[in-house]
Amino acid sequence: MDLNTTILPSSSPCAFRTTLNKTSKNAYVKPPVKRSPLASNLSPMRKAKIPKVSPESEEVQYAILDALREEHVGSDAIKGILLRLGEGLRRLPYRRRAELEIEWLRQLREAELECNEIP
């Protein structure tokens, strides 16, 4: 028997391996290595890359957030009228809303033409 010979006592998967060591010429026993069938299918996890944000884009983002947080001050009478009309239109069925829209646009056009006529 060679000094680097591996001896397997039995063919069972739980059998211990016996190896002869060259230097000490003593036999020692290595426990079997159990491998999970799933271990071969798994790949090591990679760290997710965090995108680097430039200082300029951070400034733009903060400016947008500040603009969205500001309340619009100084609503005028026209905005008030339009808000009331919008709330009323939402309570109506679609067909009636469409009829009112056409009627109001026609009236608006007539009013604009009256104001632009030369006497």
Between 60 and 17, name the one with better pLDDT: 60
Between 69 and 25, name the one with better pLDDT: 69
Going by the DSSP 8-state scheme, the letter that residue 5 receives in this structure is -
The residue with tokens 């309340």 is: 71
Q: Is residue 105 part of a domain?
A: yes
Q: Is residue 76 part of a domain?
A: no
Overall domain count for the chain: 1
Q: Is residue 107 part of a domain?
A: yes
Query: Residues 48-57: pLDDT tens digits?
Result: 777 676 767 7
Q: Which residues are paired to 17 by β-bridges?
A: 30
Q: Is residue 109 part of a domain?
A: yes
User: Residue 103 sits in which domain range?
Assistant: 94-118
> How confident is the model at residue 96, as a pLDDT?
96
User: How many whole angstroms separate alpha carbon 35 and alpha carbon 39?
Assistant: 7
**Rounded to two decimals, what is the model's pTM?**
0.37
Is 29 in contact with 10 (CB distance < 8 Å)? no
Q: Is residue 106 part of a domain?
A: yes
Average pLDDT value over all residues in the chain: 74
Residue 101 reports pLDDT greater than 70: yes
Residue 75 reports pLDDT greater than 90: no
